[in-house]
């Protein structure tokens, strides 16, 4: 894919503009009940070494058996990334010694991954969209965890994660800013959560990324890259890229050269530091795992998985724009999370969709954010919010009262229409009742009447007062019309 340079993304250096080129390797834990090659549970948070089979502990004579569900999850993900599914792929051994790697090798896919090239469309804040190429997706085993704080001299090893299935998704070097990199990862996360193939939980380590960063003068060939390992939040990815790009620009502008190396991001200092150089890189001695036959898929099985894919964010967004008349930006916000989109659709069903979108995006999102809640734990159901939307649409309540009603529904719960009735919150459109209020105001405030007649804008004082006297229930439109005729303005 030939990505166009975007001057707006350039970084200013002492010698002029620099373009940052980013590629990512995303490690996503496959959502599955059991591990990639053993029947042990993948549940998070078990007591150390409580989810370990004989295979995971690499006991002598143990053999891996591929978990078909993990393969299906990888294929689903590949389909969600609009990628080539390879009907024949091969598991290799990546050999290295580490205490939390019991076999002494990781089973991974090296030369023949299960998923080949694909493309992901990433929406950016300015309403701009970029297509990011996917190089490949392959399946591999996770390692265990070394624990260093249990004993002064010894380390402990927890093998619960050992053998859990990971998908490594490799992008092409198509990203041009930290914003794009963050948006790309967020989009991958969104797609996988829609598919149910990865829970995307970055705190628990279900999703993490290695980021390859290089810089160049616009139009020049690619520079030497550095790989930043295991960055585990969107914010840190942004920081790591910003810092790394600046670091590389400074070195080059000072007459130095970039050394290809692996670097670590230190979230406390907000900077990257060297981990190992290219020369120190492991020789992993990859070779096909003789314990496993090549993974063969049939075109029919892939087609069946494809037919059963859920609607993905891009399709859903297009449908929201098309069917509900939402702006692309609003639709994008609503589809980012599958749960949000489902919530919105329930609210919007048979109601004013644009109004529903406004309330979900402004009021609901605002309140959830403020309280740090996810949509799944929203105290207000989609049905409740839908009831509120209906009351606005049929002019039973005004926008102002609706906000009060929202507050009540959020804190106390209940049914929107029943609350409006029991608490007398309905909008007063009865001209008789409003007329009495207006007549009263005119009689008692001759000076304001004079002002209003001289300057119609001063009529707003009467509108305000009338609304106040009605406890906000008077229809602002009815008040307006009545005042105009009574004052003759």
- Which residues would be at the binding site for other proteins (CB under 8 A)? 54, 57-66, 93, 95, 97, 99, 102-105, 155, 157, 283, 285-287, 290-293
Q: How far is the CB of 92 from other proteins (least distance, A)?
A: 10
> 80 or 102: whose CB is closer to other proteins?
102
In the complex, minimum distance from the CB of residue 51 to other proteins, in angstroms, rounded to a whole number: 16
Tell me the sheet residues that pair with 29: 166
| Mutual angle of helices 460-469 and 476-487, in 10-degree steps | 130
Helix boundaries (H) for 117-215: 178-195
Cβ 153 to other proteins shortest distance, Å: 10
Q: Which residue is associated with the tokens 């020369």?
A: 279
The smaller minimum CB distance to other proteins, of residues 93 and 136, is found at 93
Give the nearer residue to other proteins in terms of CB position, either 65 or 454. Answer: 65
- When the beta carbons of 49 and 381 are compared against other proteins, the nearer one is 49
Least CB distance to other proteins at residue 157 (A):
7
The least distance separating other proteins from the CB of residue 288, rounded to whole angstroms, comes to 9
Nearest to 206 by CA among 173, 161, 171, 170: 161
Shortest CB 290 distance to other proteins, Å: 4
SS3 content of the chain, % helix, strand, coil (to 5): 40, 20, 40
| CB closer to other proteins, 1 vs 65 | 65
Q: Which is nearer to other proteins, 69 or 291 (CB)?
A: 291
**Is the Cβ of residue 60 or residue 424 nearer to other proteins in the bound state?**
60
Give the end-to-end CA distance of the chain in Å, rounded to a whole number.
Answer: 65
- Taking the C-alpha atoms of residue 354 and residue 331, their distance in angstroms, rounded to an integer, is 10
DSSP output for 353-368:
HHHHHHIIIIIIHHHH
Q: Which is nearer to other proteins, 97 or 411 (CB)?
A: 97
Tokens (6 digits) for 1: 């894919």
The least CB distance from residue 170 to other proteins, in Å, is: 20
For 185-196, letters b (16+ CB in 10 Å) and e give bbbbbbbbbbbe
**Cβ-based nearer residue to other proteins, 100 or 404:** 100
470-485 burial by CB neighbour count: b if 16+ within 10 A, else e? bebbbbbebbeebbee
Helix, strand or coil for residue 275?
strand
Residue 75 DSSP code: H
State the CB neighbour count (10 A cutoff) for residue 443. Answer: 9
The residue (of 97 and 432) whose beta carbon lies closer to other proteins is: 97
Cα gap 340→333, rounded to integer Å:
9
Minimum CB–partner distance for residue 100 and other proteins (Å): 9
Answer for the pair 83, 117: CB distance below 8 angstroms, yes or no: yes
Q: How far is the CB of 63 from other proteins (least distance, A)?
A: 5
The whole-angstrom separation of Cα 183 and Cα 207 is 14
Least gap, CB of 30 to other proteins (angstroms): 19
Residue 214 and residue 191: Cα distance in Å, rounded? 27
Q: Residue 127 in contact with residue 142, Cβ under 8 Å?
A: no
Min dist CB 294 to other proteins, Å, is: 11
CB contact at 8 A, 41 and 168: no
Tokens of 262: 């692996």
Task: Report the residue number, 58 or 318, with the smaller CB distance to other proteins.
Answer: 58
The DSSP annotation for 438-459 comes to HHHHHHH-HHHHHHHHH-GGGG
């Amino acid at each position: 894919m030939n990505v166009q340079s975007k001057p707006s993304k350039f970084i200013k250096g002492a010698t002029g503009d620099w373009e940052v080129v980013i590629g990512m390797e995303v490690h996503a834990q496959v959502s599955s009940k059991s591990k990639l090659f053993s029947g042990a549970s993948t549940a998070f948070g078990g007591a150390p070494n409580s989810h370990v089979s004989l295979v995971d502990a690499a006991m002598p004579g143990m053999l891996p058996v591929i978990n078909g569900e993990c393969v299906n999850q990888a294929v689903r993900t590949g389909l969600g990334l609009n990628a080539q599914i390879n009907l024949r792929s091969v598991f290799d051994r990546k050999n290295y010694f580490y205490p939390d790697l019991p076999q002494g090798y990781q089973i991974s896919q090296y030369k023949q991954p299960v998923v080949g090239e694909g493309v992901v469309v990433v929406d950016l804040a300015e309403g701009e969209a970029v297509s990011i190429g996917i190089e490949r997706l392959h399946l591999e085993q996770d390692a265990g965890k070394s624990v260093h704080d249990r004993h002064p001299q010894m380390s402990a090893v927890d093998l619960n994660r050992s053998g859990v299935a990971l998908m490594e998704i490799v992008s092409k070097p198509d990203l041009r800013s930290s914003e794009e990199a963050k948006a790309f990862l967020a989009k991958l996360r969104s797609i996988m959560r829609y598919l149910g193939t990865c829970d995307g939980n970055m705190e628990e380590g279900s999703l993490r990324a290695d980021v390859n960063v290089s810089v160049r003068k616009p139009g020049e060939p690619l520079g030497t890259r550095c790989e930043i390992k295991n960055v585990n939040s969107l914010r840190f990815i942004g920081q790591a890229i910003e810092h790394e790009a600046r670091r590389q620009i400074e070195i080059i502008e000072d007459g130095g050269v970039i050394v290809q190396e692996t670097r670590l991001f230190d979230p406390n200092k907000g900077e990257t530091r060297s981990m190992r150089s290219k020369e120190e890189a492991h020789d992993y001695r990859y070779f096909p795992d003789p314990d496993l036959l090549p993974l063969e898929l049939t075109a029919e099985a892939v087609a069946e998985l494809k037919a059963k894919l859920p609607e993905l964010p891009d399709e859903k967004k297009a449908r929201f724009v098309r069917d509900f008349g939402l702006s692309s930006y609003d639709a994008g916000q609503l589809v980012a999370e599958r749960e949000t989109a489902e919530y919105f659709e329930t609210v919007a069903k048979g109601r004013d969709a644009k109004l529903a979108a406004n309330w979900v995006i402004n009021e609901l999102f605002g309140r959830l954010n403020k309280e740090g809640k996810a949509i799944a734990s929203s105290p207000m159901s989609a049905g409740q919010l839908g009831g509120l939307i209906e009351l606005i649409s049929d002019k039973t309540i005004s926008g102002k009262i609706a906000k009060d009603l929202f507050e009540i529904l959020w804190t106390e719960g209940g049914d929107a229409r029943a609350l409006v009735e029991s608490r007398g919150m309905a909008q007063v459109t009865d001209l008789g009742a409003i007329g009495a209020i207006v007549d009263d105001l005119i009689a008692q405030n001759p000076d304001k009447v004079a002002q209003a007649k001289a300057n119609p804008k001063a009529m707003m004082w009467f509108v305000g007062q009338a609304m106040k006297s009605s406890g906000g229930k008077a229809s602002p439109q009815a008040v307006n019309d009545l005042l105009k005729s009574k004052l003759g303005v």
